[in-house]
Structure 1
């Protein structure tokens, strides 16, 4: 297969309401697949919505803030868990269509929340990628991932993988992923502002792969709607009321080729962005730049990647 049809579902999440988010993601992914897509991507934490209050609500980071505590409790209660049966509609869609779906979600493991970009693939369990370093205020809610979820999926047309947001400015994470030989890479963002677009196109050029830079569309009113869906909280409502502005994540998703040119560009609203990828471009581009091969210096630089799961507690007899 030398031609791959892909799509980004640039859409508004349903904040806090994971059941509603799964239904919407399945519906949009099906629409993209019926439109010809063999690979579909959604933005960062589409399930649960990006936690806008961390950046937009004054005081959200203050110690013991009632609104932040209330929202954290809701997220823990709502978040997906490993092997979550609520995700079966997405898995079934992959199985019946043969397509892959990359979807961001808040995930609960024991008592901690992770930022996970799940890669659903036909006939196999979803591939996890838990964000290695939550950025700035995100550390208030998310645990750091480990090397056990730094991997790729082998499809019939090539390999596919994910990184999340500012991981694209982690040079060693990029080097590790380039070594794994991605043909298609999902760069998941809350919104693809100018510097995020640059990072995504740079990744495509450096890794000689196609990049789906997937963003969300989020408005202030969405937060109130999501909160109402999960039963509400007066403390969280007060926090949301302190947020100024209306359009907080503006989409602007793009699809980039291995030479960094933009193949498709979305606007600021909800849309499904399609592109046709000529996978034969990858081999041609490697002639001049192969950062994991002839443009590397393994005699000078060596990267060790620890892919062991780090649970922190080991019970042994």
Structure 2
């Protein structure tokens, strides 16, 4: 039996901060670049729409909110994504034209109530929105902006490319969240992030080895000048390069297939040879012969069943 080889891409780019319309245009451009590179799956960074608000305090003080904090919140809220609206239509049309799977990090605005979530959206090659994973635990001051997701959004999709799922940024430090994906047999593990520290590379390598899966990590490349003028005073103490990136692709044996990419925008691509994935299970299988179900019991509350995507291949124009 011949095992597949799948070409994937990881986008490291700079959003147009606090400008949803222009950021969507940029996503469309990068989808076209991914198509031109021959990608069958394309991953974008955490909160690429409308940008991860690194360095901003939103005037947060325990026990008190100010008008300045509410103004900044309103700006961010208005430029966040209501997935029930038509705002994503240009992206969906670009995906359909490119005929590729896309995973896109957004700040998602709840249609009812208006709470925000840090979410990972999954799109089929026909442009259909398959689902949204909402970050289980926002980190630090992120909790001031984003509500918490739950187990019902821990999706894994059985696609023609392989089983695809992912966690966002520091969710990847949650062992049981990782295990929730491993037990679904994830083969292409997506990790959009805002963490540009060198130690993040070690985390991604560890997950590849632990899960015996391909790991794709996408981060933004951000400079102070990329922020709107109205927020420059709030980031005056930040370094000129606020996020150097570090996007990377790892094999199931923890070997670098592409990257890491630093201090520049670009698309990393790699051919995922699924024979490597099969070979990696010889000596370790986290949900197979290393699982020890006679000792350990594991359950995720409300985690959905793996969704099988029977995708008709569209002809490229």
TM-score bin (small chain): 0.7 to 0.9
CA-CA distance at 1:155 after TM superposition: 1.1
SS of 1:118's equivalent?
strand
Cα displacement string for residues 13-60 of structure 1 (whole angstroms, at most 9, x for unaligned residues): 111111111110111111111111111111110111111134xx5x84
**What is residue 293 of structure 1 aligned with on the other side?**
288
SS of 2:228's equivalent?
helix
Cα displacement string for residues 141-185 of structure 1 (whole angstroms, at most 9, x for unaligned residues): 000001111011221121111210111110100111001111111
**What is residue 131 of structure 1 aligned with on the other side?**
135
Contact 2:250 2:258 in 1 (8 A): yes
Do the aligned partners of residues 77 and 16 (structure 1) sit closer, same or farther apart at CA in structure 2, a change above 3 Å counting? same
Contact 1:90 1:120 in 2 (8 A): no
Contact 2:163 2:185 in 1 (8 A): yes
CA-CA distance at 1:117 after TM superposition: 1.0
TM-score, normalization by structure 1: 0.88
**What is residue 311 of structure 2 aligned with on the other side?**
none
Q: Point out where structure 1 has 5 or more consecutive residues left out of the alignment.
A: 228-235, 310-317
Contact 1:192 1:213 in 2 (8 A): no
Q: Which moved more, 1:90-99 or 1:197-206?
A: 90-99
Contact 2:55 2:238 in 1 (8 A): no
Matches of residues 168-317 of structure 1 in structure 2 within 5 Å?
Answer: 168-224=172-228, 236=231, 238-240=233-235, 242-265=236-259, 266-307=261-302
For 1:147, which of 128, 151, 176 is the aligned residue? 151
TM-score, normalization by structure 2: 0.88
Cα root mean square deviation, aligned: 1.9
Matches of residues 90-129 of structure 1 in structure 2 within 5 Å?
Answer: 90-109=91-110, 110-123=113-126, 124-129=128-133
**What is residue 168 of structure 2 aligned with on the other side?**
164
Q: 4+ residue stretches of structure 1 with deviation over 6 A?
A: none
CA-CA distance at 1:237 after TM superposition: 5.6
Q: Which moved more, 1:88-97 or 1:179-188?
A: 88-97
Q: Point out where structure 2 has 5 or more consecutive residues left out of the alignment.
A: 305-317
